[in-house]
Amino acid sequence: MLTDNDFVARWLAHRAAALDLDASSLSVREVRPMSRGVSRQTWSVSVADRSGEHALMVRRDHEVGSVIPTSLETEYAVYAALAGTDVPHARALWWEDDPSWMPDGRPAYLRECVTGDWRLPELAQAPAEVADRRIALAREHITQLAKVHAVDWRARGLDRILRAPDTPARAAEMLVDDLLDQLRRYQGAPSVPAAEAVASLRARAPRDLDALVFCKGTNGHGEEVWRDGRIVAMSDWELAAIGDPAYDFAQCQELVADVVVDGRRVWGMPEALEFYRDLTGSTVTMDRVDYYRDVMALLQHVYTQHAAWVVRRHEVPPLRFVWTATEVAFRSELRLAADYTGNLLTELVA
């Protein structure tokens, strides 16, 4: 029904008070699906009332569910918990679970649309030619990430949304245990590399963390909304967690990549961690970042098994779920095998 502008107009008029819209003058200008994103569906909705034009976003699962195991309601709750914090984000407006108004009979939520772009042209240019610009963008990203880590997660009730470790020392091991629980739940295909990964990660789990922080999860290029060189909205909270800030640095996308000028590295992960330490007083070690990079390989395996679980439950599953359950799963298996059991594409001859 998101393709039915009349329904969308009636729905938004019904929720006008929560959306700060005037129901009597409300009209829908455009509703269109966004191409970005795989795990869920996002729709852009342009409306107008007597006060002017307004841009909204609708977020919901695919008809068969989400590729990522995190629930849609959890994602919305994280957005809502950010209200009043220093973290730039799109304001959560309404969680729709009334059967009379759920678009196409599926829960959805509405949030404001923040004007900007996820694309950073500088990242497509030769690093040496735009080194200063790339470093400035990276520092802006880490500055906003530090604001995420500074959120008082207890005061915001995030520990009622996300599972919090009993102690900082348990953060890494608990994350791995949670992934193992999900694998059991989805009855994934037996995997020696995954089993080896779980055993290794549990044995190597760092226990020197001194404080738990609220973590964003996937972050960096492609995940945030930028305008004029600044982040105006931190987006994509599907993998949010309470744990080690190294968890976030392990998921930074491209903004901590090495920038080399005249054969000398002027920016990269070590410089990013140093900048973060100067900003926050908190030290994140490369060892911990490397550990959580290994955790992310296991997490990828888990969501491919979740996709396969969805595929098995539907006679005609969507192509993106089949792709995730096959090609992405195969690549994930290769990645784990390379780290823990050997190259699966190399045949050893006795």
Using a cut of 0.85, tell me whether the model's pTM lies above it.
yes
CB 48, CB 41: distance < 8 Å: no
Looking at the structure, give the CATH architecture of the domain made up of residues 121-340. Alpha-Beta Complex (3.90)
Mean pLDDT over residues 243-266, rounded?
95
Q: Using CB atoms within 10 A of its CB, is residue 147 exposed (0-12), middle (13-18) or buried (19+)?
A: middle
Q: Look at residue 259 and tell me whether its pLDDT is greater than 60.
A: yes
Query: Cα–Cα distance between 321 and 310 in angstroms, integer?
Result: 7
Q: Please, which pLDDT band fits residue 1 given cuts at 50, 70 and 90? A: confident
Q: Please, which pLDDT band fits residue 188 given cuts at 50, 70 and 90? A: confident
Q: Please, which pLDDT band fits residue 253 given cuts at 50, 70 and 90? A: confident
The CA-atom distances, in angstroms, between 274 and each of 142, 195, 256 are: 11, 35, 12
Report phi then psi at 177, rounded to 5: -60, -40
pLDDT for the residue 348: 52
For 338-341, the CB contacts below 8 A with 24+ separation are: 339/193, 339/197, 339/294, 339/297, 340/193, 340/196, 340/197, 340/200, 341/192, 341/193, 341/196
Q: Minimal CA–CA distance to 87: which of 218, 235, 280, 208? A: 235
pLDDT for the residue 187: 86
Given this chain, do its domains 26-112 and 121-340 carry the same CATH topology?
Answer: no
Q: How many residues does the chain have?
A: 350
Q: Copy the structure tokens of residue 14.
A: 């019904």
Q: Please, which pLDDT band fits residue 193 given cuts at 50, 70 and 90? A: very high
Q: Please, which pLDDT band fits residue 208 given cuts at 50, 70 and 90? A: very high
Q: Look at residue 37 and tell me whether its pLDDT is greater than 90.
A: no
Q: Which residues are paired to 43 by β-bridges? A: 33, 58
pLDDT per residue over 284-298, tens digit each? 999 999 999 999 999
pLDDT for the residue 66: 94
Given the DSSP bridges, would you call strands 230-234 and 224-227 parallel, antiparallel or unpaired? antiparallel
Q: Which residues are paired to 59 by β-bridges? A: 42, 109
Q: Look at residue 347 and tell me whether its pLDDT is greater than 80.
A: no
Average pLDDT along the chain: 94
CB 233, CB 116: distance < 8 Å: yes
Which residue ranges make up each domain of the chain? 26-112, 121-340
pLDDT for the residue 350: 46
What b/e readout covers 178-208, taking b as 16+ CB neighbours within 10 angstroms? ebbebbeebebeebebbeebbeebeeebbee
Higher pLDDT, 61 or 347: 61
Q: Look at residue 268 and tell me whether its pLDDT is greater than 60.
A: yes
The CA-atom distances, in angstroms, between 116 and each of 109, 113, 133 are: 21, 9, 18
CATH pick for 26-112 out of 3.40.630.10, 3.50.50.60, 3.40.50.720, 3.30.200.20: 3.30.200.20
Query: Cα–Cα distance between 84 and 167 in angstroms, integer?
Result: 27
Of the chain, the percentage scoring pLDDT greater than 70 comes to: 98
Given the DSSP bridges, would you call strands 219-220 and 252-253 parallel, antiparallel or unpaired? parallel
Higher pLDDT, 4 or 348: 4
Residue 213: half-sphere exposure toward Cβ, Cα within 13 Å: 22
